[in-house]
Amino acid sequence: MESIYHRFTNVIADHLLPASRLVVAFSGGVDSRILLECAARFAFEQQRQCVVVHVHHGLSDNADLWSQRCVEWCQEKQLSCVVEKVQLELMVGDSVEERARQARYQALAKHLEPGDLLLTGQHADDQVETFLLALKRGSGPKGLSAMAQCTPFAQGFLLRPLLSVARSEIELAARQLSLEWVEDESNLDTRYDRNFLRQEVLPKITQRWPGFSGAVQRSAHLCAEQESLLDELLSPVLESALQADHSLALAVLCQQSEQARLRLLRMWLASLGQPMPSRHNLQILWQQVALAKADANPILQLGQGQVRRFNQRLYFVAQSRDISQWRAEIKLSQSLALPDHLGVLTLESTPGEGRLALPPAGEKLYVTFDPEGLSAHPAERGHRRKMKKLFQEYQVPSWLRRRTPILMCADKVVAVAGLFVDREFIGQDCELFWRK
What DSSP string describes 386-406?
EHHHHHHHTT--GGGTTSS-E
How far is 232 from 352, CA to CA, in rounded Å?
53
- CA pair distance 162, 174, nearest whole angstrom: 14
pLDDT reported for residue 92? 54
Please compute the mean of the pLDDT values over residues 262-290 and round it to a whole number: 89
Q: Which amino acids are annotated as binding site for ATP, given as ranges?
A: 27-32
pTM score of the predicted model: 0.72
Q: Is residue 5 very low, low, confident or very high in pLDDT (cuts 50, 70, 90)?
A: very high
Segment 162-198, tens digit of pLDDT: 999 999 999 999 999 999 888 877 777 788 888 899 8
Class of domain 242-318 as given by CATH = mainly alpha
Q: Are 39 and 118 in contact (CB under 8 A)?
A: no
Helix, strand, coil: what percent of the chain each, to 5? 40, 20, 40
**CATH class, 1-211 region:** alpha beta
pLDDT band with cut points at 50, 70 and 90 for residue 314: very high
Please tell me the predicted confidence (pLDDT) of residue 35. Answer: 95
Closest CA to 313 of 269, 395, 250, 387: 250
Q: Which residue has the higher pLDDT, 12 or 294?
A: 12
Going by pLDDT thresholds of 50, 70 and 90, the confidence category of residue 354 is: low
Average pLDDT, the chain: 89
Give percent of the chain above pLDDT 70: 97
CB 351 within 8 A of CB 429: yes
Which residues are part of a known binding site? 27-32
Query: How far is residue 277's CA from residue 24's CA, in Å, rounded to a whole number?
Result: 30
Query: Which sequence spans correspond to the domains of the chain?
Result: 1-211, 242-318, 327-435
